[in-house]
Amino acid sequence: MTTQLTLIKGDITNQSVDAIVNAANSSLMGGGGVDGAIHRKGGAAILDACKEIRRTQWRGGLPTGKAVLTTAGALPAQAVIHTVGPIYKQDRERAPSLLRACVSSSLTLAHTSNLRTIAFPAISTGVYGYPMREAATLMRDESQQYIDTHPEAFDEIRFVLFDDRALQIFQDVWS
């Protein structure tokens, strides 16, 4: 079976998949954008799990490009994979490799946790300022590379874009 790559417009917190990816900040304590929406809708169980990760694994905060897994709380997904994307203007030189690491580490964590369907937001393209077209290209390439090396790992990798503009850019890049 081949992995289906899907682009949709929607709200990532409404996705019935095995795992949704949270474009988190390094504190893992919630914030704005996707991160805040996931924490609000998922409830206290996600925050409690993040606090435990900070207490036991990442006392100084989750580094950019790394990923951790928590419960999905009240979300329709089974799990949340939190990853910290690069702040484009602060580290423009390393931003592409860091964004690739976000995708790769999230896919690896899902794969090793036997989570077969995963939904990504457009990581770092909101307040972190990553150019949408460049992010779409990097996320597509990294996902395809993972599929090429692990063809049986996933049933679906879904990219959930918040608005028509983002969806159109991803569709243009992916076509």
Please, are residues 167 and 128 in contact by the beta-carbon 8 Å criterion?
Answer: no
The kind and range of the H/E element at 24 are strand 19-24
Q: Which of 11, 35, 91, 164 is catalytic?
A: 35
Token pair recorded at residue 26: 């390094």
Long-range contacts of 69-72 (CB under 8 A, 24+ apart): 69/19, 69/109, 69/113, 70/46, 71/42, 71/45, 71/46, 72/19, 72/20, 72/42, 72/46
Alpha-carbon gap, residue 158 to 17, rounded angstroms: 9
Residue 35 appears among annotated catalytic residues: yes
3-state secondary structure of 7: strand
Catalytic residues: 35
